[in-house]
Structure 1
Amino acid sequence: MLLSSMRNVVYGYSDVPVVEQLSLDMFQGEFLGITGPNGAAKTTVLKLMLGLLKPWSGTVTLNDSALQGGKLEIGYVPQTVASFNSGFPSKVIELVRSGCYARLGLFRKWNAEQEAIVEQSLKQVGMWDYRRRKIGELSGGQKQRVCIARALAQRPNVLILDEPTTGMDQQSRRGFYQLMRHYVSSHGMTVVMVTHGLDEASEFLDRVIQLERKESEVWQCLTTSSCSVRFGQEALLASSHPS
């Protein structure tokens, strides 16, 4: 089911456009990859698709009926590993617990169900044994996995990942892609991942949005499908300019 539709979108910063006449679709329950060189406005495209940025012109339509409960619940893992320095005071389990707070509301008490969600999220990324460690003591790859666990603890229906495997070794990266594939296939989650590791991730993805620079010196945004039965033919060509 169609989750988000962008048509003829133009957006930029200050007075300089970074995407121009862009048309793309995102479907509920798919694992979508966004790739391209630095400066190709990948994160900007991602935020436009989810209505987190308002386009200068064109339309972005979110289909609430495609979402469980009719409400968009976004789990977001940005590129923030470097911000957790050696002096960061929180423990791993405290940070992951914070992912549950929005669902608890003002008057709901922490309970065994929430604790089980935190435990499951940490175990799924292989960080349960590190739950009492301080974030600042971890390696870059370990910090990244803790941030992913926090996003999973939110129980989102859309999970946004910006270069999520940074700092992970090959085995950990593959395990991560398998985990995301499980959430999409078994739980109907929509996962959108900005990545440079397309060769490794492609077998797990349903579709890829690839930004490439052509001879005309503009960005060509080509959407291709790994699952032709579900999503049909390769489609949707639009152009954008580098940021």
Structure 2
Amino acid sequence: MKLAALDDIVFGYSHFPTLNGISFEIDSGEFVGITGANGASKSTMLKLMLGLIKPWSGNVFISKKNSSGDPLKIGYVPQQIASFNVGFPSTVIELVRSGRFQEKKWYQRLTEKDHILVENALKMVGMWEFRNKKIGALSGGQKQKICIARVLATEPDLLVLDEPTTGMDYESRQSFYEFMRHQVKKHKRTVVMVTHDGEEAGASFDKVIHLEKGEHGEWKCLTLSSCNGHFGQADSLLSSHL
């Protein structure tokens, strides 16, 4: 089932497009990687997909329903969302619990199900033992995990992550890719993730959307399946599409 798609998108922040002719589809149950050089407008492409900004031209599609026919839930963790200062007053568990209030009216209290979902989300990212710590006292990588746990507690169908492994060491990154793969296979989620570590994570992805610079300086994309995911092939494949 198609959850999201961009069709011939053109967008820029000045008089010249930074993204030109962008087209791809994301299906339910896929683990999708978005890769490309620094400055390749990867975050901008995510925002276009989510409807946070409007394209100059082209069409953006986001399904209103998930594969079960229920309203589609989207969880989005932007880049550098974990930059809490040391004085941030919330504890870990308070922040993750706040994700459950999105489902409620202002006067409703959390139920037993809500508390179970919060606990499970923290355990999934390995942060349950830190639940009573102040967020400002955590490392950057730990803060990032907490932000992801908060989104997981909302039970999203589509999970969109912008460079979630920034600041993680190699082993932590590998563990994170496995964790996201588990979310796709076990929990039937669709995960879209921007990463600079395409070669590292390539075997984990079902699909790679790779941004390359076109001949006029704008960014274009090439979609690769995981079986073609040798990133050295992207240049030769892309040249035939420009």
Corresponding residue number in structure 1 for 2:130: 130
* Structure 1 residues 136-172: Cα deviation after superposition (integer angstroms, max 9, x where no partner): 1011111111111111111111111111012223222
CA RMSD of aligned residues (A): 2.3
- TM-score (ref. length: structure 2): 0.87
- Give the 5 Å matches for 1:116-155: 116-155=116-155
- Give the 5 Å matches for 1:18-97: 18-81=18-81, 83-97=83-97
Query: 3-state DSSP class of the match of 2:21?
Result: strand
Corresponding residue number in structure 2 for 1:231: none
Q: Give the 3 Å change call, closer, same or farther, for CA 22–133 of structure 1 in structure 2.
A: same
Query: 3-state DSSP class of the match of 2:203?
Result: helix
Provide the C-alpha distance between the structure 1 equivalents of 2:43 and 2:80, rounded to a whole number of angstroms.
14
Higher strand share: 1
Corresponding residue number in structure 2 for 1:159: 159
Give the unaligned 5+ runs of structure 1: 229-233
The ranges of structure 1 where at least 4 consecutive aligned residues each deviate by more than 6 angstroms after the TM superposition are 234-239
Residue 74 of structure 1 deviates from its aligned partner by 1.4
Greater CA drift, 133-142 or 11-20 = 11-20
- Give the 5 Å matches for 1:164-243: 164-213=164-213, 217-226=217-226
Corresponding residue number in structure 2 for 1:104: 104
- TM-score (ref. length: structure 1): 0.87
Count of residues in correspondence between the two structures: 234
Residue 53 of structure 1 deviates from its aligned partner by 2.4
* Structure 1 residues 76-114: Cα deviation after superposition (integer angstroms, max 9, x where no partner): 112235630111111111111111111123343211111
Corresponding residue number in structure 1 for 2:11: 11
Provide the C-alpha distance between the structure 1 equivalents of 2:188 and 2:47, rounded to a whole number of angstroms.
21
Q: Give the 3 Å change call, closer, same or farther, for CA 119–62 of structure 1 in structure 2.
A: same
| Contact 1:142/1:168 (<8 A) preserved | no
Sequence identity, in percent?
53
Provide the C-alpha distance between the structure 2 equivalents of 1:213 and 1:8, rounded to a whole number of angstroms.
16
| Contact 1:26/1:49 (<8 A) preserved | no
Query: 3-state DSSP class of the match of 1:145?
Result: helix
Query: 3-state DSSP class of the match of 2:18?
Result: strand
Provide the C-alpha distance between the structure 1 equivalents of 2:56 and 2:72, rounded to a whole number of angstroms.
23
Provide the C-alpha distance between the structure 1 equivalents of 2:93 and 2:61, rounded to a whole number of angstroms.
37
Provide the C-alpha distance between the structure 1 equivalents of 2:174 and 2:137, rounded to a whole number of angstroms.
24
- The letter for the 2-side match of 1:200 is E
Provide the C-alpha distance between the structure 1 equivalents of 2:167 and 2:156, rounded to a whole number of angstroms.
24
Corresponding residue number in structure 1 for 2:231: none
